[in-house]
Amino acid sequence: NAGVMQNPRHLVRRRGQEARLRCSPMKGHSHVYWYRQLPEEGLKFMVYLQKENIIDESGMPKERFSAEFPKEGPSILRIQQVVRGDSAAYFCASSPDYPTNEKLFFGSGTQLSVL
Partner 1 sequence: AQSVTQLDSHVSVSEGTPVLLRCNYSSSYSPSLFWYVQHPNKGLQLLLKYTSAATLVKGINGFEAEFKKSETSFHLTKPSAHMSDAAEYFCVVSDGQAAGNKLTFGGGTRVLVKP
Write each residue from 61 to 90 as x if it is in contact with partner 1 (CB under 8 A), else as -, in one continuous string.
------------------------------
Is residue 4 at the binding interface for partner 1, with CB under 8 A as the rule?
A: yes
Compute the 3-state secondary structure of the chain and give helix, strand, coil in percent, each to the nearest 5.
5, 50, 45
- Nearest approach in angstroms of CB 30 to partner 1 is 11
- Nearest approach in angstroms of CB 93 to partner 1 is 7
Residue whose CB is less far from partner 1, 29 or 64: 29
Is residue 25 at the binding interface for partner 1, with CB under 8 A as the rule?
A: no
Is residue 101 at the binding interface for partner 1, with CB under 8 A as the rule?
A: yes
For partner 1, the binding residue among 13, 21, 25, 31 (CB under 8 A) is: 31
Which residues have CB under 8 Å from 102's CB, separation 6+? Answer: none
- 70-to-2, 12, 34, 89, 99 alpha-carbon distances in Å: 20, 25, 15, 23, 20
Count helices and strands (H / E) in the chain. Answer: 0, 11
